[in-house]
Amino acid sequence: MKLSVRAVILAGGKGSRLVGIDAKPLAPLLGKKLIDYPLGQVLDFFKSESIDGSISIVTGHKNEDVEEYIKESYPSALINFALQKKALGTGDALNSYFLSNPESASEYDLTLVLCADTPLLTAKNIKALYEKCLEDGVEGALATFVTSNPFGYGRIIRSESGLSIVEEKEADEFQRSVKEVNSGLYLFKTNFVAKKLKGLKPKGDKGEYYLTDVIESGDIVKPILSSDEKCFLGVNNLEQLEEAEKELLKRKVCELRDRGVRFLMSDTAYIENDVVIGEGSVIHPNTLLFGKTSIGKGCIIEAGAVIRDSLVGDGTVVKSYSYLDEATVFQEVKIGPFAHLRPKTVAKSFVKIGNFVEIKKSTLFEGSKVSHLSYVGDAEVGERTNIGCGFITCNYDGAKKHFTKIGKDSFVGSDTQMIAPVEIGDRCFVASGSTIGQSMPSDSFAIARARQITKEGLAKKFIKNKEES
């Protein structure tokens, strides 16, 4: 038997304990947002169990920002929104969902409730509740866990007639000593929870409606005690945000390791959620891989490399302390140490970009080399062309950027500048120390530096004798 499920993610709270973050569901977390994680787990659960399901997100504080983000990131057909006008508690949040979906809510057999601030849940945790709800007579199930520090969580009070949940604020001394707590993940028969919500009474000085009060002794709501406390961490402050990120990072590293990525000191690497790394690659300590970065197979990413939203082809080596930002690097490229590849850099196969080289919005074609201390901006460097040490494209005239094109199989001597716009043909030779402001046809030679004068015996006039002075 399969039951249909509507997942309701509660994201209407202000999250005032998460200081410095405007919209709590959009708190940054390993390259994504806090709300992406419970959302992703629900989608995983629907997919892996072939559930007929959909998702509703209850928004409140900063609702427009949250809705805009979700609409941009997910297919709209599956997700809708319910507005909680005032943050009057988790019970009121779920009630807002029922009020905004008066008809469609009852079309689903089960209502799954998740908090937007529990990012470490897994599809397995949801599945355990789902299986319990398939049992005869069960009206709902909730995930609980035992923790040595239950502060802030609702305590699970078990008695012969069933269970109830007492929030920190209302708990007496005995109840506060209970270590089994409410995870905030529930699955209810829809008609059960809809009915119980109608009977909720406000509590405390803020007049909040607690969702936890829908569960009373006598109800057949089953607690599923999980042994993995980590899955249920609630993110209410910056320390918990950091803790959640560390755990997600650990999972990311394990997943990559399982796919054949080798780490030297994995606990020092920072790898965001969407990063892809191919088999046989080695990640050295203190590397930071951000955004949509994709690293191919058999690459070496050395210590201190920072790579953001870049593609790195198979067999490429990024040496220590190089910084790649929106760059596209093909196969077997050597980069760094201390290289800076800025947006729209394209380095084709077998390119070499050496130390203290900065490249911006330029394409280096197959086998070309810029090995030392150079700036290449708004340029093209042809196949197999060698650029010597200390080369500069003078691409900016104070108002506009201009283009430099250098053909294939050319040789550009050290300490050369090219004043753009300028075009150098194929198989050209530019002598060292030249300032090139005029284009060169293919197969030509250019030298543009002052002629040397040598005067024999004149050195003594210039060499100062230290003892005399």
Instruction: Compute the distance between CA of residue 257 and CA of residue 319 in angstroms, rounded to an integer.
Output: 21
| 66 forms part of the interface with ligand UD1 (CB under 6 A) | no
Residues 111-140 that bind Ca ion (CB under 5 A): 117
Window contacting ligand UD1 (CB under 6 A); options: 63-71, 80-88, 382-390, 424-432: 80-88
Q: Which is nearer to ligand UD1, 216 or 423 (CB)?
A: 216
Q: Which does 212 bind (CB under 5 to 8 A by kind): ligand UD1, Ca ion, none?
A: ligand UD1
Closest to ligand UD1 by CB, 157 vs 194, is 157
Determine contact, residues 395/379, Cβ cutoff 8 Å: yes
89 vs 313, beta carbon nearer Ca ion: 89
Closest CA to 432 of 403, 377, 389: 389
| Extended strands (E) in 147-238 | 155-159, 162-166, 180-189, 221-226
In 45-70, which positions are buried (b, 16+ CB within 10 angstroms) versus exposed (e)? bbeeeebebbbbbbbbbbbeebbebb
Among all chains, which residue has been given the structure tokens 């050290």? 414
Active-site position among 61, 284, 340, 372: 372
- Would you count residue 15 as binding Ca ion (CB under 5 A)? no
Among the residue ranges 234-242, 243-251, 327-335, 423-431, the one whose residues contact Ca ion (CB under 5 A)? 234-242
Helix ranges restricted to H, 49-172: 63-73, 90-100, 123-133
User: Rounded to the nearest whole angstrom, what is the least distance from the CB of residue 35 to ligand UD1 in the complex?
Assistant: 8
The CA distance from 292 to 324, in Å, is 12
> What whole-number distance in Å separates Cα of residue 391 and Cα of residue 388?
6
Q: Does 119 bind ligand UD1 (CB under 6 A)?
A: no
- What does the alpha-carbon distance between residue 99 and residue 82 come to, in Å, rounded to a whole number? 8
Kind and range of the H or E element at 176? helix 173-176
Q: Virtual CA dihedral for 245, 247, 248, 250, nearest 10 degrees? A: 120
Regarding 84 and contact with ligand UD1 (CB under 6 A), the answer is yes
**Bridge-partner residues for 83, per DSSP?**
59
Give the number of residues in contact with Ca ion, rule: CB under 5 A.
3
Convert residues 215-254 into a mask of x (bound to ligand UD1 by CB under 6 A) and - (unbound): -------------------x-x------------------
Nearest distance, CB of residue 423 and ligand UD1, angstroms: 59
* Nearest residue (CB) to ligand UD1, 184 versus 315: 184
CB contact set of 172 (below 8 Å; sequence gap of 6+): none
Of 212, 266, 293, 322, the residue at the interface with ligand UD1 (CB under 6 A) is 212
Q: Note if 372 is an active site residue.
A: yes
Nearer to ligand UD1, 29 or 58 (CB): 58
Among positions 27, 82, 115, 299, the unique one binding ligand UD1 when judged by CB under 6 A: 115
Q: Active-site positions?
A: 372
Q: Which residues bind ligand UD1 (CB under 6 A)?
A: 10-13, 58, 60, 84, 87-90, 92-93, 115-118, 153-154, 165, 167, 181-184, 210-212, 234, 236
